[in-house]
Amino acid sequence: MFVRILLIAGIAVLVWSAAARSSQAHGAKQVVTVQAYDTLWSIAERHYGGDVRDAIWRIEQANHLHSADVSVGETLVLP
């Protein structure tokens, strides 16, 4: 009986670890170079799902931007 419970628990942990989503906290960061006519809105829209405003805020924070203004050729880290 104990072996059966241990086996079921082991399988549950294996399934959970395969299905768990990465927080990407330790992965390589994506870097983009601002192209002509790019805005933070368009960059966030291309690279993130969900609320674009939240993505813009995260990009601003990761790059220590004081406004949403970006320049052609500028490189941005996407968190």
pLDDT in tens, 41-79: 999 999 998 899 999 999 999 999 999 899 999 999 999
In single-letter form, the type of residue at position 59 comes to I
d(CA 78, CA 29): 6
What pLDDT shows up at residue 29?
81
Q: What angle do CA 31, 33, 34 make, to 5 degrees?
A: 130
Q: Is 78 exposed, middle or buried (0-12, 13-18, 19+ CB in 10 A)?
A: middle
**pTM value?**
0.63
Contact criterion met (CB below 8 Å) for 34 and 72: yes
Q: Which domain holds residue 37?
A: 27-79
pLDDT tens for each residue of 17-38: 666 555 555 567 899 999 999 9
Q: Is residue 42 part of a domain?
A: yes
- Is 20 a member of any domain? no
φ, ψ dihedrals at 77, nearest 5°: -90, 130
**Residue 41 located in a structural domain:** yes
How many domains in the chain?
A: 1
